[in-house]
Amino acid sequence: ATMPPLLSAIANAGRHGVLVKSAVVMERLGQVDAVAIDKTGTLTEGTPQVTDVRPLAESGLTEEELLALAAAAEHPSEHPLARAVVDAARARGLRLAVAEDFDSAPGLGVRATVDGGVVAVGSPARMLGCREGHPASEVAARLEAGGRTAVLVELDGTPVGVLGIADRLREEAAETVAALSSLSDGAPVLVTGDNERAAARLAGEVGITDVRAGLLPQDKVRTVQEMSAAGRRVLVIGDGVNDAPALAAAHSGIAMGRAGSDLALETADAVVVRDELRTIPTVVALSRRARALVV
Ligand code: ADP
Ligand code: MG
């Protein structure tokens, strides 16, 4: 027997390295007319590197002490930024204390007890909040203006330093954004928990003008709901725990498989197993062709 079009499209998507979970999913993918795409780990490679270690003068910490504290707290986390911090500490041969009472908040950061002190590592904007003029927020702003993701480190509620982290844009990011733009109704919307400055800079490099930065997971969901309420069928592309609710709320959700969190992979309708962003517009096109054959 000849294979039904949607099933052969699934097989075809598999050859491109994309796991589409069902025929229903395959069919819905071709209906999308708008895209909301995550930044870290999705448009970027997801293997960020620590580029700057900046203890605050008043903390009395050395660079190595700051990095070791942050890495100890980040050790239990699966976030790409956490891995960058732990790898940087290892690369300098630092010994990491064991973290206790670890807790993480998607889109915010982590908190743990290290050597009897409470260490928090995360978004400077969220953690500093109203302490705008704080020296840490100036250091963070300078790093962000340079396209870095700045991460604040606090010890017992006091800022002690800032780390600068950079992730490379995927080589095929701009061409994929262009392909998605022509398949949908305009360019994708960038939805990211990262800071406005770094997000805007990267958006400019790939041809995205609609940037929503500093979003918590529920803000990503709200963005999808607003687009849906405006009559759009939204494809969400993401990789993190912080993307899972938006992946679930979308008309179709696709997760990046290699560095993606388990929750994102389970929630998404399809998974990019081969870690090539450009396969996503290809699969949408496959779905459209298959749908044209299904009467
Ligand atoms: P994105 O939406 O770009 O994938 P996330 O929502 O995962 O980004 O993270 C948003 C922000 O929250 C980060 O830029 C960082 O400031 C902070 N953050 C989240 N998790 C961590 C972590 N494990 N360590 C440090 N900072 C974190
Ligand atoms: Mg991400």
Q: What is the pLDDT of residues 115-166, one digit of tens each?
A: 999 999 999 988 987 677 899 999 999 999 888 999 999 999 999 999 999 9
Smallest-distance ligand from the CA of 259: 2
| Statement to judge: residues 98 and 211 lie in one domain | no
- On whether the CB atoms of residues 85 and 67 are closer than 8 A, the answer is yes
Q: Do residues 122 and 205 both lie within one domain? A: no
Minimum CA distance residue for ligand 1 atom 27: 109
- State the complex-level ipTM: 0.95
**Residue corresponding to tokens 């459209």:** 288
Q: Do 135 and 74 have their domain in common? A: yes
Verify that 75 and 219 share a domain, yes or no.
no
What separation in Å is there between the alpha carbon of 68 and the centre of ligand 2?
24
Residue 193 sits in the same domain as residue 209:
yes
Do residues 123 and 29 both lie within one domain? no
91 and 140 assigned to the same domain: yes
pLDDT of residue 261: 87
**Cα atoms in the Cβ-side hemisphere of radius 13 Å centred on 3:** 10
| pLDDT tens, position by position, 174-184 | 999 999 999 98
Going by alpha carbons, the residue nearest to atom 16 of ligand 1 is: 123
Domain boundary among 166, 185, 217: 166
φ, ψ for residue 153 (rounded to 5)? -115, 125
| 188 shares its domain with 140 | no
**Contacts of residue 270, Cβ cutoff 8 Å, sequence gap at least 6:** 13, 18, 19, 20, 21, 25, 29, 252, 253, 254, 255, 283
Last residue of a domain, one of 132, 166, 200: 166
**Residue 52, φ and ψ in degrees, nearest 5:** -140, 135
Q: Is the CB of 107 under 6 A from ligand 1?
A: yes
Q: What is the CATH number of the domain that holds 199?
A: 3.40.50.1000
- Rounded to two decimals, what is the model's pTM? 0.88
Ligand nearest, relative to CA of residue 99: 1
Which position has the token pair 């290699």? 258
pLDDT at position 129 is: 77
Q: Is residue 38 among the annotated active site residues? A: yes
Cβ-contact 136, 161 below 8 angstroms: yes
Q: Where are the beta strands (DSSP E) in the chain?
A: 18-20, 34-37, 49-55, 99-105, 109-114, 117-122, 149-155, 158-166, 189-191, 211-212, 234-238, 252-256, 270-272
Same domain, 122 and 268: no
Mean pLDDT for each 10-residue chunk of the chain (295 residues)?
88 97 96 96 93 97 98 94 96 96 93 97 88 88 91 96 96 97 93 93 95 96 98 96 96 93 94 96 96 82
Give yes or no: residues 199 and 95 share one domain: no
The domain in which residue 65 lies consists of 49-166
In CATH, what number is assigned to the domain containing residue 55? 3.40.1110.10
Whose C-alpha lies nearest to ligand 1, atom 8? 193
Number of domains in the chain: 2
Which pLDDT score, from 0 to 100, does residue 1 have? 65
| pLDDT value for 21 | 97
Return the ligand 1 atom nearest residue 216 CA: 6
Task: Supply φ then ψ for residue 110, to 5 degrees.
Answer: -125, 165
Q: Please give the number of the atom of ligand 1 that sits closest to the Cα of 80.
A: 23
- pLDDT, residue 128, reads 87
Distance CA 204, CA 206 (A): 6
Domain end call among 119, 142, 166 = 166
Residues 70 and 160 in one domain: yes
Residue 9: CA count within 13 A, CB half-sphere: 28
Nearest-atom number in ligand 1 for the CA of 217 is 6
Quick check: helix, strand or coil at residue 174?
A: helix
* Residue 261 in contact with ligand 1 by CB distance below 6 A: no
Q: Do 208 and 252 reside in the same domain of the chain?
A: yes
